[in-house]
Structure 1
Amino acid sequence: MLFDPYSNSALRLANRIAMAPMTRCRADHADAVPNAMIVEYYRQRASAGLIISEGVPVSDRARGYINTPALWNESQAAGWKRVTDAVHAADGKIFAQLWHCGRVAHSALHADGSAPAGVSIKPAATQTMIPGPDGRPVPAPCGQPQALSLQEIRGVVAEFAHAAKLAMQAGFDGVEIHGANGYLLDQFRCPALNDRNDAYGGSLANRYRLLLEVVDAVAAEVAPERIAVRQSPYGVANDMVADPEPLVTYPWLARELNRRGIGFLHIYCQSADWIHDAAHSMMPALRDAFHGALIACGGFKTPAACEAILTRGHADLIAIGKPFIANPNLVERLRRDAPLNKWDAATFYAPGEKGYTDYPPL
């Protein structure tokens, strides 16, 4: 099944392999415009049935890391148009992953020096990368966040909608809304972090209110069948606390997305364990709740592991991350069961072509 096409009413993908979104930090932080090196990186990997781009900040304040290409103005959209043109010329499909880092940020990353935006004032006990004195990345603790006001929340929703409009202008085949991994939309979901007493805090429906408002606003710009939403059940990345009722929380959201006709629900298992367990109840519960395509991500390194979850019917697409970094034509390597290049973790976020566009093809 892994190499079979996948279709819905809006898209036809050549195979069931998705390139997972991965931050690579190769843009110039000053303008956040995708450059020629970024164009080549995605072009090399266009044999994936679907590429999901690295996280694309929807505003300057949405940025949480240095040198991430963004999508809030016309120049950035024009840069991404060169990326999508290259992917399409190679017969690929690509979604833009729309991203707001929330409290996982630092004021030095923002042009106006604004504090990170948060669901609350609780800081993230983790680090990010900011510009050093010479402009090169240096590690720094995340800054003290400010809790978003109701007016600012409405602004965040508008930023996602504007970025989605620009994504269509830039030629993307769809968008993914990043609601996982401890970033802003996930921060609102988390009851250990969300201490609000307004319409965005307390009940599960309130804690998911912002995400669903973003989904609805994006769906006014992009056909729902071309929208994906990413979630990370049991995830603790970026100083998060695992959801206390995951088998209530995530199927609840899945039903809401299904009611809206959303095309893809992308499930990332950060620990790369439970998603491979045929007896685990999360993926069947999501399958019952959501009738679009389920994308499974987390530790899928071999064709056998991919085929197993597809055969069980617990996923429709498999998202693969780090192996795609080192293997630009990963799909063909998997098809032939050929050896994989090893990735160089030291170059994941480093500037330049080394470890980015210089890995040898099959």
Structure 2
Amino acid sequence: MTSLFDPYYLGGLHLKNRVVMPPMTRTRTTEGELPTDGDLPNALMAKYYGQRASAGLIITEPGDIDQSSHGYARTPGHHSKAQMQGWRLVTDEVHRHGGTIFMQLWHVGRLAHSSILPNGQTPVGATTERAETSQVFAHGPDGKLQFMTPDTPRALSTDEVAAMAGTFAKAAANARAAGADGVEIHGANGYIFEQFMNSALNTRTDRYGGDVEGRTRFLMEVVDAVVAELGPGRVGVRLSPFGSYGDIPKDPLVEETFLYVVEQLGRRGVAYVHLVYELLPTGNMETGEFNPPEYLDHALLAKARAVFPGAFIWCGGFTNLARAQAALDSGLVDLIAFGRTYIANPDLVERLRHGWPLAEPDRSGFYTRNGEVGYTDYPSYSDETSANSAA
């Protein structure tokens, strides 16, 4: 029987276990000196990821492919030299601890606000439909950062959509230059790719709309460009079928689209599909919750398994070893991602392996610039017990 602590070979990379630290926005960046620098990864972030390098795979928080893809304040990017220097601190620290790290690339599409976009420009999306019930972290009328409703987007032109594949490929090349072992394309959670793939939202009449091939064309063009840049086995894709996060409407063609996408990704040499199901329909990072692992549609995933030769990562609601092991025992997934549990447990793998108690994260420290507080100040179990003994 497969154990959570067994090694796994992912696209030729040796993962020391099947535990994944998934992407989680933490807003601990440093502001760049120049406007074109963007928000920068830093030594504090390197410490945070290095503390958690016992995971088989770390996938970093999402990073903007360029300045116009910026949707949330204080999130890092992959488009400036200063950012790549910051990411190098992160990858060096993770590798020093024997870890493997992929960087997540995103474009938020319509889930953005003009207050944090270059020159106050309008967000872009598949259509001009606004995400009315979602929220993004941006500057309010008083200039202070707060959660706000996204602006009404401008629909991307056909040529603009086509050109974005090159932008993603450039960001992937930057990630590789900064020491990443691979990248993950964020095709989930209501961001730009899901805005195109959703048959209820995408009403375009050009080659990026219409049938399933048209609605998924954008994602496939980006995947083709990134795989050409990094090679097969170095690219993963995150998907959230049935998700409503980011004001994504219910899609009557969701199963057809999901199975088509998975099959096409397999043909392109994608290393893994990272699956996540969200519960709440809002786009508020503070309150978003996940469905429990039992929500996994075994019949649908079995169909996906039959057409995708790579790995499946399952994320959402895993809070203990029993749930994770049960998901592995189903034979339908290969790797298990523990999200918020990783925030408070830098030594999560060791705690799970030895049956040590898990710490609970403090939500007030999720999205702040309070330095190490709620970020790198969570002790390992051995440090915690030593401190208690000394007291």
Which among 244, 249, 257 is matched to residue 241 of structure 1?
Answer: 249
Change (3 A) 1:279 1:349: closer
Change (3 A) 1:84 1:279: closer
Alignment of 1:272-291 (within 5 A): 272-273=290-291, 275-276=293-294, 280-291=298-309
Number of equivalent positions = 362
Structure 2 unmatched ranges of 5 or more: 33-37, 280-289, 382-391
Q: Verify the 8 A CA contact 1:233 1:243 in the aligned structure 2.
A: no
Which among 345, 352, 364 is matched to residue 346 of structure 1?
Answer: 364
In structure 1, the residue corresponding to 2:209 is in which secondary structure?
coil
Quote the Cα distance in structure 2 between the aligned partners of 1:136 and 1:95: 32
Q: Verify the 8 A CA contact 2:22 2:339 in the aligned structure 1.
A: yes
Quote the Cα distance in structure 2 between the aligned partners of 1:9 and 1:317: 13
Alignment of 1:146-295 (within 5 A): 146-271=154-279, 272-273=290-291, 275-276=293-294, 280-295=298-313
Which among 110, 120, 125 is matched to residue 118 of structure 1?
Answer: 125
Single out whichever of 7-16 and 213-222 deviates more from structure 2.
7-16
Quote the Cα distance in structure 1 between the aligned partners of 2:117 and 2:31: 10
Q: CA offsets, 1:303-354, max 9 Å, x none? A: 1111112121110100110000111111111111211111111221111221
Letter in 2 for 1:112: N
Change (3 A) 1:242 1:280: farther
Partner of 1:310: 328
Quote the Cα distance in structure 2 between the aligned partners of 1:60 and 1:133: 21
Q: Verify the 8 A CA contact 2:52 2:347 in the aligned structure 1.
A: yes
Which among 65, 73, 90 is matched to residue 66 of structure 1?
Answer: 73
Q: How much does 1:56 deviate?
A: 0.6
Cα RMSD (Å) of the superposition? Answer: 1.6
Partner of 2:111: 104
Single out whichever of 324-333 and 108-117 deviates more from structure 2.
108-117
Q: CA offsets, 1:236-287, max 9 Å, x none? A: 0010113313322211111101111111111112235474257731221211
Quote the Cα distance in structure 2 between the aligned partners of 1:8 and 1:161: 21
Letter in 2 for 1:226: R
Q: How much does 1:29 deviate?
A: 4.6
In structure 2, the residue corresponding to 1:351 is in which secondary structure?
coil
Alignment of 1:31-50 (within 5 A): 31-50=38-57
Q: Verify the 8 A CA contact 1:29 1:66 in the aligned structure 2.
A: no
In structure 2, the residue corresponding to 1:54 is in which secondary structure?
coil
In structure 2, the residue corresponding to 1:224 is in which secondary structure?
coil
Quote the Cα distance in structure 2 between the aligned partners of 1:325 and 1:236: 24
Which among 83, 91, 95 is matched to residue 76 of structure 1?
Answer: 83
Q: CA offsets, 1:170-213, max 9 Å, x none? A: 00010000000000011000112111000001101100000000
TM-score (structure 1 length as normaliser): 0.96
Q: Verify the 8 A CA contact 2:292 2:317 in the aligned structure 1.
A: no
Q: Verify the 8 A CA contact 1:29 1:68 in the aligned structure 2.
A: no
Which among 137, 145, 170 is matched to residue 137 of structure 1?
Answer: 145
Partner of 2:15: 13
Q: Verify the 8 A CA contact 1:57 1:99 in the aligned structure 2.
A: yes
Hey, which bits of structure 1, 4+ residues long, moved more than 6 A?
none
Quote the Cα distance in structure 1 between the aligned partners of 2:351 and 2:29: 29
Q: Verify the 8 A CA contact 1:103 1:123 in the aligned structure 2.
A: yes
Quote the Cα distance in structure 2 between the aligned partners of 1:141 and 1:278: 31
Single out whichever of 226-235 and 110-119 deviates more from structure 2.
110-119
In structure 2, the residue corresponding to 1:225 is in which secondary structure?
coil
Quote the Cα distance in structure 2 between the aligned partners of 1:168 and 1:182: 26
Change (3 A) 1:193 1:9: closer
Which among 88, 95, 98 is matched to residue 88 of structure 1?
Answer: 95
Structure 1 unmatched ranges of 5 or more: none
Letter in 2 for 1:15: N
Q: How much does 1:11 deviate?
A: 0.5
Letter in 2 for 1:223: G
Partner of 1:357: 376
Letter in 2 for 1:265: V
Single out whichever of 338-347 and 313-322 deviates more from structure 2.
338-347
The percentage of aligned residue pairs carrying the same residue is: 45
Q: Verify the 8 A CA contact 1:18 1:52 in the aligned structure 2.
A: yes
